[in-house]
Amino acid sequence: MTLRELEYLVALAKYRHFGRAAEACLVSQPTLSAQIRKLETELGTPLVERDSRSVMLTDFGKDAVERATRILVDVQQLKNAALLRQNPELGVLRLGIFPTLGPYLLPHVVPPIHERFPELELLLIEEKSGTLLSRLRDGELDAALLALPVDTDQLQTEFLFEEPFLLAVPKKHPLAERNSIDMDDLGCHELMLLEEGHCLREHALDVCRLSGAGHRSSFKATSLETLRLMVGANVGVTLLPALATVSPMMSSDKIRLLSFEDGNPTRRIGLCWRKSAPTGPLLTQLADIVRSTAQQLLQIG
> Rounded to the nearest 10 degrees, how much is the dihedral formed by the CA atoms of 146, 149, 151, 156?
70
Q: In which element (H, E) is residue 227 found?
A: helix 224-232
pLDDT recorded at residue 260: 87
> CATH code at 216?
3.40.190.290
31: Cα within 13 Å, side-chain hemisphere: 13
25 plus 148 within the same structural domain: no
Q: To which H or E segment does residue 125 belong? A: strand 120-126
Same domain, 218 and 262: yes
Provide the pLDDT for residue 23: 92
Q: What pLDDT does 251 receive?
A: 60
**End residue of a domain, out of 58, 82, 106:** 82
Select from 47, 82, 117 the last residue of a domain: 82
pLDDT at residue number 59 = 92
What pLDDT sits at residue 248? Answer: 64
The rounded distance, in Å, linking the Cα atoms of 62 and 18 is 16
Three-state secondary-structure class, residue 142? coil
pLDDT along the chain (301 residues), means of 10: 93 90 92 93 90 82 93 84 68 91 94 93 93 91 93 89 92 87 81 85 79 74 88 90 79 83 85 88 94 89 46
Report the alpha-carbon distance of residue 153 to residue 133 in Å, rounded.
12
CA 42 – CA 110 distance, rounded (Å): 46
pTM for the model stands at 0.71
Instruction: List phi, psi (to 5°) of 288.
Output: -60, -40
The whole domain housing 26 covers 3-82
Are residue 102 and residue 57 in the same domain, yes or no? no
pLDDT value at residue 87: 66
